[in-house]
Structure 1
Amino acid sequence: MLYEMIAVVRVGKPHTTNEVKEIARTACDLILARGGVVRGLTNWGPFLLIKPIKKNQIRHDSGHHFILRFDASPSLQELVRKTVAIDPRMVRCGVVKMGGRLKDIVDAKGVVEWQRKRRERNLGSYMNSVLQA
């Protein structure tokens, strides 16, 4: 099955990208050691969070986002999610099942592209509709 893990790592340390690399490498090594396949890793960089998140008694307003796409069994996916989530450098982590059948995932790419223009356009039309109502 194809999964997509969206992870947010804390920001504020001078070596945030090294932390992101270490966490991603840990997840990838775990997937590969258990017979899974890593399709791709996309680094989106630091962004402000929608709302502040408090984890480990620290308030986080922003986070360094990355997305990992991988093929694995459901039990391996759960193990990867739990392993990454317990890291104290992580702010938030979530896994989404992209598909389980070959016809659903055959065209899935490893890299997830940021579509900022489309999202801003959708948000703009939403805000216009809210303001007119």
Structure 2
Amino acid sequence: MLYELIAIVRPGSLKEVKEIAKNAGVQVLRSGGVVRGYTNWGTFTLPKPTTKHQARYSEGWHFIMRFDASGPVQAAVRRTLSLDPRMIRFSVVKLGDKLEEINDVPGNVNWNSTKMLLSDSLNLRGSFRSRDLNESTILGSPIRRTPS
């Protein structure tokens, strides 16, 4: 099965990020899996400040690792990353399990350079701010349109 590990490491040295990525990759390789590739996205601001291991973070170093492995290996990688105090957040996504689904998936993940605003996807004119969302809009009332 093909998986994608999306990891956010505490900001600081690139050496720590490389060590975490290497440890995850070695764990996959020792279990008979294949690492397809790594992508380093650098440091970004987190959507909201996060507390992890009694420290508060507002930004983190993002990297992605694509790998082929069995389910238990993926669970072991998750367990190892959850115990590492340098990790802020991570997620493992299954991209597919049949050869037809995964044979064209590259090892690297490019940043999406096209910027699509939420207001564009909702066909709204004018500005759209997060404060425009309130309980009534989430529960089904139409989103308030701002005059253009």
- Give the TM-score of the pair, scaled to structure 1: 0.90
Q: Can you list the C-alpha shifts for 1:17-49, whole angstroms capped at 9, x where unaligned?
A: 100000000001111011000000000000000
* 1:70 equivalent among 67, 72, 82: 67
Structure 1 match to 2:34: 37
Greater per-residue helix proportion: 1
Identity %: 49
- The alignment of Structure 1 onto Structure 2 pairs a total of residues equal to 128
Q: TM-score, normalising length from structure 2?
A: 0.81
1:111-130 aligned at under 5 Å gives the runs 111-116=108-113, 118=114, 120-123=115-118, 125-126=120-121, 129=124
Letter in 2 for 1:6: I
How far apart in 1 are the matches of 2:122 and 2:97? Answer: 36
Larger Rg: 2
Q: Which runs of 5+ in 1 are unaligned?
A: none
Match of 2:4 in 1: 4
Unaligned runs of 5+ in 2: 129-143
1:126 Cα deviation from its structure 2 partner? 4.2
1:109, CA displacement in angstroms? 0.4
Higher strand share: 1
Q: CA deviation at 1:4?
A: 0.1
Superposed CA RMSD in Å reads 1.6
